[in-house]
Structure 1
Amino acid sequence: MIRVVLVDDQALFRAGIRMLIASQPDMDVVGEAGNGQEALDVVARTAPDVVLMDIRMPVMDGLTATAQLLKKADPPRVVMLTTFDLDESAARAIQQGASGFLLKDAEPEFLLAAVRTVYAGSSVIAASATRELFAHFTQATTPVPPEYGDLTDREREIFALAARGLSNSEIAAREYLSEATVKTHISRILAKLSLRDRVQLVVFAFEHGLA
């Protein structure tokens, strides 16, 4: 069962998401909060797997709350909820370690798929959207860390394609590989670069001028 906490200052919006999630046999809403400070308390009490976190809220915004959550041991996966497709706050949250972002008017099926994807921890919600976000807001780059030099030539090719937002199946088709092989390459790349998921891979690529 995927344990979810909803954080949004609009009670009506939370009620709609709660009903949607409650209709799924593999999900359960274990807590709700109306601001970031409440979110910290609810998460500490309920230990959810996934937190859907609004960015703009009173008392404590979602960006601050997310930064504090992700500093804790074994933090939940955090998905930012935003009204704007190019939201600088969402980009900052992803840099801090959030697992992605969703538009608040996303289709219900997409939201449910996103929760399951993030819970699985194997891929990004929308790598192409994350890439567009960072292309828009990332200006300066920092030197490439030495760990990147540990990647093989093939791993660098896979890294570049993943950073462009291609899925495992798209990379497999392009490189004439099986999806299982691509998944193995991605896992090795993440391990060598000490990255948690494909969201962080996209962020890494932009921060170091590799995108």
Structure 2
Amino acid sequence: MIEVLVVDDHTIFRSGLRRLLGDEADMRVREEAGSAADAMQLLRQASFDAVILDINLKGRSGLDLLKSLRREWPALPVLMVSMYPEEQFARAALDAGANGYVAKDAEPGDLLAAIRRVAQGGTWLSTGFAARAREMPGRPPASDQPLHFRLTVREMQIMMAIVAGKSLTEIGADLFLSVKTVSTYRSRILEKLQLGGNSELVRYAMQHSLLD
């Protein structure tokens, strides 16, 4: 039986994973955590065969948490999941020590296969991305990437919150950041994307299909 810890700050997503894995004979969600602190506490209290870790978490990002996991549990299989495409953050996740990366819009069968693969000590990437990674072992030139590929996980998170219409105060409360810090992130995002304000940011997100 593959005992899984799910780390994601969205209750609905965690519940969906619990139901999905509950239908499988060889795996189950043993525990859930909605934050990095809760995840670390659970990991110190029990053993798990795999961790499903969202790249977007309130407070510390999943990549930050992954670094802590690797210091204490270097061999623990970790599968990163994200609403963002593999092309943007999969390489960063693997470089940080993840065993695999799955987009949240992947087919359920792919997610189940990924869990089994990493729990057995393997690595998981989608077939298409793995092929591209073999052809291009280094990062692709920046000129070949959309500008939002320059954003960090936190910058992407804040960008999407702004596009969703949240105020800087609301974003700060959600991510446990000061309004000044969020404002600094906003300025950095606009600079990287070469945009002049929030309306252009929304237009950019629509042009690049970043909105649901």
Matches of 2:137 and 2:74 in 1, distance apart?
A: 31
**Matched position secondary structure for 2:60:** coil
Is residue 10 of structure 1 aligned with residue 13 of structure 2? no
Q: Is the 8 A contact 1:117 1:123 kept in 2?
A: yes
Is residue 40 of structure 1 aligned with residue 9 of structure 2? no
Root-mean-square deviation (Å): 2.4
Point out where structure 1 has 5 or more consecutive residues left out of the alignment: 141-211
State the TM-score, normalizing by the size of structure 2: 0.59
One-letter identity of the residue aligned with 1:138: R
| Residues 10-19 or 33-42, more deviating | 33-42
Distance 1:65 1:104, change over 3 A: same
Q: Percent identity?
A: 31
One-letter identity of the residue aligned with 1:28: R
Matches of 1:57 and 1:85 in 2, distance apart?
A: 17
Point out where structure 2 has 5 or more consecutive residues left out of the alignment: 142-212
User: Which residue does 1:98 correspond to in 2?
Assistant: 98
**Matched position secondary structure for 1:71:** helix
Matches of 1:86 and 1:126 in 2, distance apart?
A: 8
Matches of 1:104 and 1:17 in 2, distance apart?
A: 11
1:33 positional shift: 0.8
Q: Is the 8 A contact 1:2 1:49 kept in 2?
A: yes
| Residues 9-18 or 22-31, more deviating | 22-31
User: Which residue does 2:139 correspond to in 1?
Assistant: 138
Matches of 2:67 and 2:133 in 1, distance apart?
A: 19
Is residue 64 of structure 1 aligned with residue 64 of structure 2? yes
1:43 positional shift: 1.9
Q: Tell me which stretches of 4 or more aligned residues in structure 1 moved more than 6 Å.
A: none
1:98-129 Cα distance to aligned partner (Å, 9 max, x none): 01100101111111111111111245343642
Q: Is the 8 A contact 2:2 2:27 kept in 1?
A: yes
Distance 1:73 1:35, change over 3 A: closer
Matches of 2:87 and 2:38 in 1, distance apart?
A: 23
One-letter identity of the residue aligned with 1:83: M
**Matched position secondary structure for 2:71:** coil
**Matched position secondary structure for 2:24:** coil
State the TM-score, normalizing by the size of structure 1: 0.59
Distance 1:60 1:133, change over 3 A: farther
Alignment of 1:168-183 (within 5 A): none
